[in-house]
Amino acid sequence: MSSRPDTGRRAGGGRSGGRAAGGQAVVLGAGLAGMFAAAALSRHMERVVVVERDRLPEGPEWRRGVPQSRHAHNLMTAGHTAMNRLLPGVRDELRDAGMVEVGMPRDMLLLTAGGWMPRFTTPLFMMTSSRDLIDWVVRDRLHADPKVEFLEETEAVGLLTEGPRHAEVRGVRVRGRDASREAGRGEPYEIEADFVVDATGRRSRTPEWLRAMGYETPSESVVDAQVAYSTCVFDPPPGHEADWNCVLLQSTPDAPRQGILNPIEGGRWMVSLAAMGGERPPLDHDGFLGYARTLRSPVLYDTLVKARPVGPVHGSGRTENRRRHYERLRRWPERFLVLGDGAGALNPSYGQGMSVAACSAVALDEALAAAGGPAGVASGMRKKVARCIDTAWAIAATGDLGYPWAINDAGLSTRMKLRYLYRVVGASAWSKPAARALLDLNQMVSSPAAVFRPRVVTAVMRGSRQVSDLPPALAERPPLTHADLP
Ligand SMILES: Cc1cc2nc3c(=O)[nH]c(=O)nc-3n(C[C@H](O)[C@H](O)[C@H](O)COP(=O)(O)OP(=O)(O)OC[C@H]3O[C@@H](n4cnc5c(N)ncnc54)[C@H](O)[C@@H]3O)c2cc1C
């Protein structure tokens, strides 16, 4: 699994124009978005070099560049489906490595703002494990691909361009680590490429690079519910048995605290508590448990109080919904693309970032196949990436507008969508079609139009109903009317 630091450089520098197989691609960042992009590119290019600032671990271990991996990660139905398309069989490999399936909403105690969601069987399932495990399985697949090379401990510092007004990207400027130098960094050098993907995450420097080349910088949409996470791993109590394997207690504008218990590899639980509005959940075990007690239902606290924490409580960093509208720029450099959190980062409470990255990479695969290579693909891909973000944004950013402190620039039509969305959430506690529409949206298997299906609109028009405070047992028949049944 070690990197081969010199293999990314191309002697002579020239591009492989005219060659059918596309030449060399460079992906910046070996997070999941970068690795999904590498998987897509490897199908169409002769070679893919993944440039990563960190040294990559040999196994499922934490590293600095992906600090969020200490927190609960849900992989939605659309996400594992897209991953499986990019890397056939990877879903089984994830399962074999210990990833757990959570049937939606059958296996989950899900308390939405509208009440407990009834538990019924659908084809939808999310997958949960430690995030380090997902990265490791995907990385292992790419290590087995002879076309893909990881260039570790190497930082991207700029783009190389050619043509009038920097019309085309022709590679990247990088620098490796050099312990013998005072700053610890080596001399910058160039890697030529026929296509470059920036997947360096929330701190992507593309806006700065564009500005330096004389391009416009993208406008941004930001909705910040000011979410902070605390996470701890637990061993379940001995003999623990339940007819659910996952708990999600969502926040509301009146009770802005959230908790999720995810099953992970090794039979453990990863529990993340989230606070909104600038508060931070505690980072010590007693405080963590005490905070769990303040959530909208005691079910998580009652479960955890008998469990044993394994390891410390970790806090999180940035979580705001932030998208950069690259798709709106009139001029765009050919052979260059941004995807993953650098294009659109989401409030993690909705669990969609990995799935957006995987769906964007599938779109890249399709675009490269349709064009027969990387030429002419970049500009149109911006819209395709934006479309993948739209689906997740419709629930994450729109939902967060309900929090009065969420910093946002939403107009009237977005606020009306929000009002409607909250009514769908209200109906989801008693109407199966409303619940299914929300799940389809959250699992990203449907466009935002799912919430306007006729039976959902009917449920919304009927208004809210008295619903039980108690979590639904699996065998319990949820309070549905005949009109709600499929
Ligand atoms: C607390 C939290 C919980 C989350 N939970 C979920 C969840 O439940 N479900 C879900 O789908 N998503 C979740 N997400 C989001 C998810 O982690 C990301 O959307 C997903 O990992 C895609 O990120 P990325 O690859 O674009 O960026 P990152 O994960 O940030 O990866 C960027 C990579 O680029 C490298 N890099 C950065 N700069 C450079 C440079 N100049 N040169 C070379 N390399 C560089 C970094 O080292 C890193 O490896 C969560 C996020 C947070 C913060």
pLDDT of residue 42: 98
**What is the DSSP-derived secondary structure letter of residue 407?**
B
Please tell me which residue, 402 or 102, carries the higher pLDDT value: 102
Peptide bond just before 207 cis, omega within 30 deg? no
**pLDDT, tens digit (0-9, with 9 covering 90-100), for 226-275:** 999 999 999 999 999 999 999 999 999 899 999 999 999 999 999 999 99
Going from the N-terminus, what domains does the chain have, and what CATH number goes with each?
Answer: 24-69+136-221+320-392 (3.50.50.60), 81-129+223-315 (3.30.9.10), 412-484 (no CATH)
> From the CA of 394, how far away is ligand 1's center (Å)?
20
Neighbouring C-beta atoms of residue 155, cutoff 10 Å: 18
DSSP code per residue over 33-87? HHHHHHHHHHTTSSEEEEE-SSPPPSSS---TT-GGGGS-EEE-HHHHHHHHHHS
The secondary structure of residue 459, as a DSSP letter, is H
Distance 65 CA to ligand 1 centre (A): 8
Mutate to test the pocket of ligand 1, among 27, 36, 49, 52 (most ligand atoms within 8 A of CB): 52
Per residue in 381-392, pLDDT (tens digit) is 999 999 999 989
Mean pLDDT, residues 104-133: 96
Ligand 1 midpoint to CA 350 (Å): 15
**Alpha carbon of 117 to ligand 1 centroid (Å):** 30
pLDDT band at 150 (very low <50, low <70, confident <90, very high): very high
Rounded average pLDDT over 179-196: 90
Check whether 470 has a pLDDT greater than 90.
Answer: no
* Phi and psi, residue 385, nearest 5°: -65, -40
Query: Which residues are CB-contacts of 94 (< 8 A; sequence separation ≥ 6)?
Result: 80, 127, 129, 133, 134, 137
Contact 326, 338 (CB under 8 A): yes
Q: pLDDT category, 304, cuts 50, 70, 90?
A: very high
Specify the pLDDT at position 409. 67
pLDDT at 40 over 60: yes
Q: What is the pLDDT of residues 414-468, one digit of tens each?
A: 778 888 998 999 999 999 999 999 999 999 999 889 999 999 999 999 977 777 7
